[in-house]
Amino acid sequence: MSYQKITVIDFGGQYNQLIARRVRECGVYCEVVPYRKITVDGLKKEPPAGIIFTGGPNSVYLETSPHIDPEIFEIGVPVLGICYGAQLMAYTLGGRVSTAPTSEYGKTETFYDKKCVLFGDEMPDSAVSWMSHTDYISEVPEGFEAVAHTAVSPVAAMQNVRRKLYATQFHPEVNHTEFGLKMLDSFLKNVCGCTGDWTMESYAETAIREIRERVGGGKVLLALSGGVDSSVLAALLAKAVGSRLTAIFVDHGFMRKNEGDEVEAAFRGWDINFVRVNAAARFLNKLEGISDPETKRKRIGEEFINVFEDEAKKIGRVDFLAQGTIYPDIIESGAGDAAVIKSHHNVGGLPEHVDFKEIIEPLRMLFKDEVRALGTTLGLPENIVWRPPFPGPGLAIRIIGEITVEKLEILRDADAIFREELEKSGVARGINQYFAVLTNMRSVGVMGDFRTYDYTVALRAVTTTDFMTADFAKIPYDVLERAAARIVGEVRGINRVVYDVTTKPPATIEWE
């Protein structure tokens, strides 16, 4: 795809994805590349419009720490170093990096030289930035000047205007840094000369064209889960290849209330072969007597493969298998020196006997928010595009203990009420994931003149940027009160509602 590109060089920073997302918010395409895979010859051959160095956990003056070829600063491409990236720039070019007399973490008052292009006249003389460092730049390299400072750091930012080299000890990509997005935008537009040609409309046009060129007259098979990624991929493929796409939607019976019907309705009228397989009985049979969450996941995964394989055999040979892999999946699978967060192996989980020649992953360079934007561009309804994330095993891992038809119905109704109240109140868009969990705990209650002994439902809602860490959502009490009252009043079998106020870590977002 022929967009202006920024190369984000990853040195193991925890905010590498966030930097890339912020760049794209500015309308500029970027890719995250591990520092070990960067070569000066490669950058010279296909020079990006600019380069950004991420942060990282190391001390730059140690031999074992990540370093970079100094020639990268001589090829004429603008560079912005952030945190470790700033220290790396200073150290590599002859400056001094030392252990700070006082570490800086969190919100820090920072004083700016507004003559620097990153800041500009419209910024105040001082504002809050987000710091996270033990080392600091104690002496700038020759030709550089400090353009920001704090009470602790004499070089909170530095520049060499002639060479188009800039660095910030703080993290402009983090929301806590006031005017941080403006700083990044200024680097991209005023230093790198980017015009902001990255839009979902242009991406959709290019992606459709590329899919058509690659697929030609071939047939494409897609396992449609009903989640955002696979649904958007189905819409994109429908635009590209039409009736040569077969989308198999395996309804395992663990979907949210009315979800299977909503997925089917979303693709009614599209020029594709949509196959819905109602396999609830098969999956329930496989989970009979099973309480362990890992066993649940394994059996559901195995049965999904069996069902998908049975349906695929009816179709015969296909040329391409489409997968909804997105960019965080690639980054999180070990793209840098950061620890591998989780392995994404969509291919490894698919049936061995499905006959296809190649795999295509048209969403592999998009973040989740971009996938949603693409879905809107392609004409998918809001209830599909803005559906909260949903695990593959579905409600089976939101029911603690053994799965029964009765428990599924209880949870569906409670979950639907919680989601409805959040959406009606207008707070849902500010929450990244929200759902109900049916615990295996029963307790005494009183309803009218009668004693009850029924289940407890736990409500879970979190805010997060990357799903690796998360905070519980600060839902207004009146919204929680309405949801709890409706759940107890309308859902038979529940007499107690609790709200989960645990962060991740130490907890996970899901309960199982």
What amino acid positions are annotated as catalytic residues? Answer: 83, 171, 173
| Cβ(274)–Cβ(303) below 8 Å | no
> Three-state DSSP class for 443?
strand
Task: Write the DSSP symbol of residue 378.
Answer: H
CA nearest to 429, candidates 439, 437, 419, 438:
419
Q: Give the Cα separation of 363 and 204 in Å (integer).
A: 10
| Cβ(134)–Cβ(100) below 8 Å | yes
Residue with tokens 């009252």: 485
Give the ranges where 144-220 is alpha helix by DSSP (H).
Answer: 180-186, 200-215
Q: Give the Cα separation of 426 and 77 in Å (integer).
A: 45
Q: Is 182 exposed, middle or buried (0-12, 13-18, 19+ CB in 10 A)?
A: middle
Largest CA distance in the chain: 83
> Three-state DSSP class for 446?
strand
Give the ranges where 342-402 is alpha helix by DSSP (H).
Answer: 368-378, 382-385
| Cβ(353)–Cβ(261) below 8 Å | no
Q: Give the Cα separation of 337 and 342 in Å (integer).
A: 14
| Cβ(459)–Cβ(499) below 8 Å | yes
Q: Give the Cα separation of 18 and 21 in Å (integer).
A: 5
Q: Give the Cα separation of 337 and 163 in Å (integer).
A: 28
> Three-state DSSP class for 423?
helix
